[in-house]
């Protein structure tokens, strides 16, 4: 495939608490992480979101453009600021997240006069990528408009890729979240899910339960990530267990799933089988967890991701 992947979601300002009470500032967001890795893997990639007209938003857009990401689908809302979150790490290395994002402009991206520009950016892509966090940003009316757009896009041949990424704090209640997930499963071409997220969403889960849920929704292709470093890949009614190579020097698991998604989508677009694409995903995620932060240095990107060396 040679068209564009449009990633829909939110990028926030990130503050990390350091010893002595100092803070370091950066940017972060699940779909943005995936967009960066897609662009680095040579996939034409657009980010679709809404930001303010402040200097922090300017910095975000400049950094995305430096990665080769198209930003025509990013709306700028006067007088608004992007969302903010802070990370604290305790003595055992456990991280806690604190969010200030209720008034982030992305929450109104499907309710603005400029919304048709966002819809045009999504409809122009051959693949739309979004996550459970993306869906949690919009109210009922915004999600209705999004689902209508996804229906139009699929009718025109666009593929929809959904990454589960369920975060309970983003939803008012579990019944609503379950209904939305059931709906997005039914209109996705590829679903990337995990037993861990499914457990949070439904209260109980294992690989068989999640696989059955996706089969019932008639998902054409799915990847079910397990608690240990492996996944089930289901395509054309065949399920294959794909294990990851062990990583002994894990530093930070941030963006492991986001980078896996990028490599999987990029490999599938390059014509690799689902199984080989999952191996590529494991390989990139294995490189990402060896570095601190969501985005690793460019020279740390695996050189053999889509070559025969990437498979056992």
Torsion of CA 289, 25, 39, 124, to 10 degrees: 130
Can 258 be counted among the known catalytic residues? Answer: yes
Q: State how far the Cα of 301 lies from the Cα of 200, in Å rounded to an integer.
A: 32
Helical axes 195-202 vs 174-186, angle rounded to 10°: 130
Q: Output the CA–CA distances (angstroms, integers) from residue 290 to 52, 124, 139, 286, 294, in the order listed.
A: 33, 36, 37, 7, 11
Q: State how far the Cα of 115 lies from the Cα of 128, in Å rounded to an integer.
A: 16
Residue 258 sits at φ, ψ, to 5 deg, of -65, -40
Q: Are 257 and 244 in contact (CB under 8 A)?
A: no
Per annotation, catalytic residue among 54, 58, 258, 299: 258
Q: Are 263 and 37 in contact (CB under 8 A)?
A: yes
The residues annotated as belonging to the active site are 258
């Amino acid at each position: 495939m040679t068209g564009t992947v449009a990633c829909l979601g939110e990028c926030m300002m990130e503050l990390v608490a350091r010893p002595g009470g100092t803070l370091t500032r950066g940017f972060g967001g699940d779909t943005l992480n995936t967009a960066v890795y897609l662009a680095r893997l040579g996939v034409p990639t657009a980010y679709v979101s809404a930001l303010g007209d402040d200097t922090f938003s300017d910095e975000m857009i400049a950094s995305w453009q430096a990665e080769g990401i198209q930003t025509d689908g990013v709306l700028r809302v006067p007088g608004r600021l992007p969302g903010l979150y802070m990370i604290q790490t305790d003595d055992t290395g456990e991280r806690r997240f604190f969010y200030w994002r209720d008034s982030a402009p992305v929450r109104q991206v499907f309710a603005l006069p400029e919304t048709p520009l966002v819809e045009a950016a999504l409809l122009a892509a051959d693949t739309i990528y979004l996550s459970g966090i993306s869906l949690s940003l919009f109210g009922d009316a915004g999600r209705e408009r999004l689902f209508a757009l996804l229906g139009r896009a699929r009718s025109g041949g666009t593929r929809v890729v959904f990454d589960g990424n369920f975060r309970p704090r983003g939803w008012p209640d579990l019944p609503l979240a379950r209904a939305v997930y059931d709906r997005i499963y039914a209109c996705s071409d590829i679903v990337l899910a995990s037993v861990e997220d499914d457990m949070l969403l439904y209260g109980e889960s294992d690989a068989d339960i999640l696989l059955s849920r996706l089969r019932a929704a008639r998902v054409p292709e799915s990847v079910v990530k397990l608690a240990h470093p492996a996944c089930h890949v289901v395509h054309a009614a065949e399920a294959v267990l794909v294990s990851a190579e062990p990583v002994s020097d894990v530093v930070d698991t941030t963006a492991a799933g986001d980078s896996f998604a990028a490599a999987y989508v990029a490999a599938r677009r390059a014509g690799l089988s689902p199984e080989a694409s999952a191996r590529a995903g494991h390989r990139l995620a294995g490189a990402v967890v060896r570095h601190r932060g969501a985005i690793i240095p460019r020279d740390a990107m695996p050189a053999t991701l889509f070559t025969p060396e990437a498979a056992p």
